[in-house]
């Protein structure tokens, strides 16, 4: 009897050890490595609780069926810790200084920048949450929509499109490396000479530089969401667009100057915003 009991203990011990080994093997099988701006990060299994620190990151996850448990603009490390995330997604351009602290809370993946082609960050984020196939499908749908729009736009793609931002203290002309610049380039629109550069923006524009804003179409946005409110951004935009020098621009003479939503054309920066911007392009050029 004693021998039988010893044998049962040995068998039970072996079973526990085998289960532990099987669990470890399963985790190893499900784990994957993500290369990103800060190096390489190993993620065990598909993350269920993801904290995202940028707008475009949140858009990417939602597009592939992942709802973030938290999004942070002003990062509160204690609040992030309380969420007990499986994964944190951030951006080196904004969050480099706190990477190590975040990485102690959960595996952390960073994109390099918030500028340039938004599709690169989108691809990284979908890989980070183990949703590459869904991400590829979303990008394919976007590209198909672009191709359909190009056919409908035809010769209108020869129009030079100018993008302006009116913010007190820093009026800007946006170039090809901005979010709206990337979408315009995807569609195939031309840009005025100073905007047709692989750079982000010309900052600190003065009224003497208003002639550089011209194009066949001018789209502008401010930091104020409601175009009907009498606030600083819209007040500044009104002042500039009613300036005699602005009135001499060809787009102004042709009534081709339009205010658009800054969240869509500038700050959101993700796949949802890109499709909403395509909605606007259809509105102004195809309807």
32-131 CATH pick, 3.50.50.60, 3.30.70.360, 2.40.30.10, 3.40.50.1980: 3.40.50.1980
What is the residue whose two structure tokens read 């500028």?
A: 115
Tens digit of pLDDT for each residue in 84-143?
A: 999 999 999 999 999 999 999 999 999 999 989 999 999 999 999 999 999 999 999 999
CA distance 95 to 204: 25
- Residue corresponding to tokens 């191709």: 147
- The per-residue b/e assignment along 84-115, b for 16 or more CB within 10 angstroms, e otherwise, is ebbbbbbbbebbeeebeebbebbbbbbbeebb
Is residue 153's pLDDT more than 60?
yes
Phi and psi at 153, nearest 5°, equal -75, -35
Q: Of 248, 261, 260, 190, whose CA–CA distance to 214 is shortest?
A: 248
When mean pLDDT is compared over 28-32, 68-72, 283-287, the highest value belongs to: 283-287
227 vs 278, residue with greater confidence:
278
Q: For the domain 153-285, what is the CATH superfamily, name and number? A: Nitrogenase molybdenum iron protein domain (3.40.50.1980)
Torsion angle in degrees (nearest 10) through CA of 44, 50, 52, 56? 90
First to last CA, the chain: 89
Q: How far apart are CA 59 and CA 96, in angstroms?
A: 21
Q: How far is CA 139 from CA 68, 132, 150, in A?
A: 20, 10, 16
* pLDDT over 70 at 5, yes or no: no
pLDDT at position 10 is 41
Per-residue pLDDT reduced to its tens digit, 164-207: 999 999 999 999 999 999 999 999 999 999 999 999 999 999 99
Looking at the DSSP bridge assignments, the partners of residue 23 are: none
Task: Provide the pLDDT for residue 30.
Answer: 79
Other C-beta atoms closer than 10 Å to the C-beta of 72 total 18
User: Where are the domain boundaries for CATH 3.40.50.1980 in the chain?
Assistant: 32-131, 153-285
Q: Rounded to two decimals, what is the model's pTM?
A: 0.86
Compute the mean pLDDT over every residue in the chain, rounded to the nearest whole number.
90
């Amino acid at each position: 009897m004693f021998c039988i009991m010893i044998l049962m203990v040995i068998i039970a011990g072996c079973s526990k050890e085998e289960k532990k080994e099987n669990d470890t093997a399963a985790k190893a099988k499900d784990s994957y490595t993500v290369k990103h701006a800060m190096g390489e990060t190993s993620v065990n299994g598909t993350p269920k609780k993801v904290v995202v620190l940028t707008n475009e990151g949140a858009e990417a996850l939602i597009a592939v069926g992942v709802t973030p448990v938290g999004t942070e603009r002003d990062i509160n490390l204690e609040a992030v810790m309380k969420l007990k995330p499986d994964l944190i997604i951030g951006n080196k351009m904004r969050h480099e200084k706190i990477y190590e602290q975040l990485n102690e809370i959960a595996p952390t993946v960073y994109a390099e920048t918030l500028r340039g082609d938004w599709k690169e960050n989108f691809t990284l984020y979908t890989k980070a949450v183990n949703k590459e196939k869904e991400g590829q499908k979303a990008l394919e749908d976007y590209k198909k929509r672009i191709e359909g729009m190009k056919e409908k736009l035809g010769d209108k793609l020869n129009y030079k499109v100018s993008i302006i931002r009116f913010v007190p203290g820093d009026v800007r002309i946006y170039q090809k490396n901005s979010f709206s610049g990337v979408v315009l380039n995807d569609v195939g629109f031309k840009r005025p000479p100073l905007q047709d550069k692989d750079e982000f923006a010309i900052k600190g524009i003065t009224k003497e530089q208003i002639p550089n804003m011209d194009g066949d179409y001018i789209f502008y946005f401010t930091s104020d969401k409601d175009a009907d409110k009498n606030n600083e951004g819209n007040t500044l935009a009104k002042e500039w667009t009613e300036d005699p020098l602005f009135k001499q621009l060809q787009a102004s003479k042709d009534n081709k100057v339009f205010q658009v939503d800054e969240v869509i054309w500038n700050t959101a920066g993700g796949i949802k915003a890109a499709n909403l911007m395509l909605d606007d392009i259809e509105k102004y050029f195809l309807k």
